[in-house]
Structure formats: C-alpha cells, structure tokens
C-alpha cells in the first residue's frame, strides 16, 4: 500500500500537509467502516485504498464486512435495481429475508467505532445498535428515481443516522438528517492506475489473445444490465461498418451480485460470430485492467444508471478519450467535448465512437483535458480530505472547525 508522502509529486506538498493536520484532529477516534463484500465493485476498491492511507497518517480506521447468503444477496441486488428505477416486484418474503439476515448481522457484528460508517443498503439495519457513538450512512448508488416502497423501507433506518453521504446532488433526497456530497475517487498509485511499461501492456493483450493491429474500444465493468454491455455491442456494430476496430468487454462479478453469470451469457450470445469482439472474464487483477485501458484507443462506459462510475476517472487519468452515458455521477467527471463525450443512446454512443476513431487529434486532446480534470477533482487525496472533514463535522455541528 502507498504511503501518503508518495503522493507529493502528484498533488503537491501542501495537500499532503493539510491531510496530516486534519488527521491530528481525529486522534483517539476509531472510524469503523462496514460494507457487504471485501472484493468486487467500487465500494470495496475504495475502502481497500482509503483505510490503509488513513491509518498511515494516524487515523484509527478499520473495516468490517457483514455476512449474507445467496438469498440475501439476491434480495439486495433487487433492492439495488429498483432503487435505480428498474421495475421489479419486491415481495414481503424479500423483506423477511433482508430483515432475518440483518438480525443475524446485528448479533454478530461488533459496532465498536466512535464513528460507524455504513456503506450502502446491505448493512443498513446495524443502526439498531446505535449507542452514544456517531453513525453515517454512505449511499454509493443513484437514488434519484427510487422505488418508493423500498426507499420508504430504508428510510426507517436512514433517518436514525447522524448523517448521510451521496455522490451527486441529484441523488440527494429530502431527509431529516444532515447530508453531505462527496464524490468517489481513484488512487493514482494503485495497481489499477499506476504507470505501466509497454511490455507489460503487450503481455496482457497477448495473454487474452487480443491482436493490437486495429484500434481497440474497451468497456470495463461488472457484467450487469445497468452497465449496458449489450448496448456497447450494438454501438460497436454500427461503427464497425465504417471504421474497422476491435471491442473488448472485460470485467467480473461482485460477491454480492448474483446476476453476473446470466448477463455474461447474454453478452456472449450477442457477440457470437464476430472474431473482433473479445469478452474477457477477468480475475481480481488490477494490473490487467490497467493494461487493457492503457492499450485501448477509446474507453466506453455506457451505463443506464450509475452511482458514479469510477472506470471513467480511471480511463481519463490514463489520458484516454472516454465516451460515457449522461447518467448518475458521470457528468461530474466529463464535460462534454472538453474532457470526454457524453451520450444518451446507442446511436449517440456510435456517433461519438466514429468521431473519435476518425479524429485522433481530437481524441488525444480530450484525454489530456480529462487527466487534468481528474488530478484536480477525483484523486484519493481529495477524498481523504472530504472524509476527515465529514468525521470532524459530526463533533462540530454548526461550528467552525479550527485547524
């Protein structure tokens, strides 16, 4: 894991000095993070980087993971979908399963933190254990158009927290508790984002049998319908008739996402017969993800809904031109025609892709602008600062925090 001083060449010494100053103000406080999975997805990825860095600068940050069986994660995946606005029926039996597993976790998980930082709906009922400590609920998903019944169910617990955190203004509903807007981030020194020598990039493409004789278009994400991998294939097919290229759809499945295998099968069926479409089921190997992004001419993120979409910032940090949907937190990362291209449909994605493949100078400029935008707004050092200010604010409601 990186040490904070290693970030000085990227963000500057004053930024690092400010973080150390904030950390001293949290001396003696235990920050306990709780989520549903140790690997897979953006939440686990962020915690894997932020928790060690907080500890490096003297903040006693810890991380616990709740447990749940297949039925529980099927229900929480259904919650995830309907909170994003997808139509589905959440039954009384689903709520019973969620409540039963939550009770087991209430009994099993020790909530010892001075601040208990709960991530997403899966562990939300742990608030039943609230004592004289502080509790934060962090929502990493897009709840701008949630299913009203499920949201009302969650509100019974959310309203008892001391604060809630959302990733974008459009996600923030009216609540009786304090709310904070904090965008996620990437770690420029992680295996997924650090610089790689050309031979490492070439080796990864060779390993997966992907020739590099044509421009490569890549989307990296979980095999999830909300990431719209079928829409990416459709856009590629529209462009392929005019601009010869290859498509990579690469990703894996999260431990709390039971739909991944089904979606993967659908994508493979749609890609059948085209040797220029490469579907890669990746292990938890961030170097390979990094290499695939760096070796691509264009990176796409054609999500239908998106809490934030860290893959966008990852690709922008590597100086890649990105085409992404105008949903969720993505427009915070991409200023259209300045740091990337935004789209609203398959046709829009195809038009943008054709434009970038036919105009490499424009594509290069978008990538350069995107990298600087990420440096300013979406690196882990900014995230650390926001989180520490959030923690301190719980003890200084309405006051000026003196540093």
Residue ranges covered by each domain of the chain:
4-185+380-393, 198-377
Question: Among candidates 101, 38, 96, which has minimal Cα distance to 68?
Answer: 101
pLDDT digits (tens, 9 = 90+) for 323-382: 999 998 899 999 999 999 999 999 999 999 999 999 999 999 999 999 999 999 999 999
Q: Summarize the confidence of residues 131-141 as an average pLDDT.
A: 95
State the average pLDDT for the chain. 93
**pLDDT of 41 above 80:** no
- The answer to whether residues 24 and 58 touch, using CB atoms and an 8 Å cutoff, is yes
Contact 397, 178 (CB under 8 A): yes
Please check whether the two domains, 4-185+380-393 and 198-377, share a CATH topology: yes
The secondary structure of residue 129, as a DSSP letter, is: G
Task: Express each pLDDT in 261-277 by its tens digit.
Answer: 889 999 999 999 999 99
How far is residue 30's CA from residue 198's CA, in Å, rounded to a whole number?
42
For residue 390, count other CB atoms closer than 10 A to its CB.
18
Q: Given pLDDT bands bounded at 50, 70 and 90, which one contains residue 403?
A: very low
Q: Which run of H or of E encompasses 279?
A: strand 277-281
How far is Cα 232 from Cα 142, in angstroms, rounded to an integer? 21
**400: CB partners within 8 A, 6+ apart:** none
**pLDDT reading at 401 higher than 60:** no
Separation CA 152–CA 219 (nearest Å):
34
Q: Which helix (H) or strand (E) holds 263?
A: helix 260-271
- Please say whether the beta carbons of 302 and 326 come within 8 A: no
Q: How far apart are CA 283 and CA 289, in angstroms?
A: 10
- 141 neighbors 120 (Cβ within 8 angstroms): yes
Reply yes or no on domain 198-377 having CATH 3.40.50.2000: yes
* Angle, vertex CA 224, rays to CA 226 and CA 74, nearest 5: 105
Above 80 in pLDDT, residue 194?
A: yes
Residues 6+ apart with CB under 8 A from 336: 326, 342
Q: HSE, CB side, 13 Å, CA atoms: give it for residue 43.
A: 25
How far apart CA 81 and CA 79 sit, in angstroms, is 5
Q: How far apart are CA 120 and CA 140, in angstroms?
A: 6
Per-residue confidence (pLDDT) for residue 159, from 0 to 100: 97
In a 3-state reduction of DSSP, which class is residue 249?
A: strand
Higher confidence at residue 308 or residue 97? Answer: 97
Residue 224 CB contacts under 8 Å (≥ 6 apart), including other chains: 257, 259, 260, 263
What angle in degrees, to the nearest 10, is found between the helix axes of 286-294 and 198-207? 100
- Angstrom CA distances, 335 to 260, 340, 369, stand at 31, 6, 10
Q: What is the edge-to-edge ordering of all strands in the sheet holding 163-166?
A: 60-65, 30-35, 115-119, 134-138, 163-166, 178-181
Read off the tokens for 325. Answer: 């949907």
CA distances from 76 to 89, 120, 221, 256 (A): 13, 10, 19, 8
C-alpha to C-alpha distance for 354 and 266, rounded to whole angstroms:
25
Q: Is the pLDDT of residue 307 over 50?
A: yes
Cα distance between residue 170 and residue 167, in whole Å: 9
Percentage of the chain modeled with pLDDT above 70: 96
Fold assignment, 4-185+380-393: Rossmann fold (3.40.50)
């Amino acid at each position: 894991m990186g040490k904070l001083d290693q970030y000085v060449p990227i963000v500057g010494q004053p930024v690092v000095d400010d973080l150390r100053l904030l950390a001293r103000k949290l001396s003696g406080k235990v920050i306990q993070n709780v989520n549903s999975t140790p690997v897979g997805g953006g939440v686990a990825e962020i915690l894997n980087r932020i928790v060690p860095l907080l500890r490096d600068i003297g903040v006693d940050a810890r991380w616990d993971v709740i447990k749940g069986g297949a039925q529980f994660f099927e229900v929480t995946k259904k919650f995830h979908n309907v909170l994003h606005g997808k139509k589905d029926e959440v039954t009384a039996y689903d709520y019973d399963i969620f409540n039963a597993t939550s009770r087991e976790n209430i009994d099993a998980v020790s909530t010892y933190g001075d601040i208990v930082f709960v991530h997403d709906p899966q562990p939300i009922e742990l608030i039943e254990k609230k004592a004289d400590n502080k509790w934060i609920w962090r929502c990493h998903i897009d709840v701008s158009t949630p299913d009203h019944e499920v949201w009302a169910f969650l509100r019974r617990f959310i309203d008892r927290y001391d604060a809630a955190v959302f990733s974008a203004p459009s996600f923030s509903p009216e609540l009786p508790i304090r709310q904070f807007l904090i965008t996620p981030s990437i770690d420029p020194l992680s295996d997924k984002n650090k610089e790689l020598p050309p031979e490492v990039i070439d080796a990864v493409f060779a390993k997966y049998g992907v020739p590099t004789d044509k421009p490569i278009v890549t989307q990296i994400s979980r095999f999830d319908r909300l990431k719209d991998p079928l829409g990416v294939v459709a856009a590629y097919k529209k462009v392929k008739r005019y601009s010869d290229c290859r498509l990579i759809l690469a990703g894996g499945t999260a431990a709390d996402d039971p739909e991944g295998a089904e979606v993967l099968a659908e994508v493979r069926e749609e890609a059948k017969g085209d040797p220029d479409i490469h579907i890669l089921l990746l292990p938890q190997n961030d170097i390979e993800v990094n290499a695939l992004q760096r070796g691509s001419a264009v990176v796409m993120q054609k999500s239908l809904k998106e809490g934030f979409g860290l893959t966008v910032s990852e690709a922008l940090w590597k100086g890649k031109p990105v085409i992404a949907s105008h949903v969720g937190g993505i427009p915070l990362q991409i200023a259209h025609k300045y740091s990337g291209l935004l789209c609203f449909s398959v046709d829009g994605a195809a038009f943008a892709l054709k434009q970038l493949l036919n105009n490499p100078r424009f594509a290069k400029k978008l990538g350069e602008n995107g990298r600087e935008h990420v440096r300013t707004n979406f690196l882990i050092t900014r995230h650390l600062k926001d989180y520490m200010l959030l923690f301190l604010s719980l003890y200084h409601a309405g006051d000026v925090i003196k540093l």
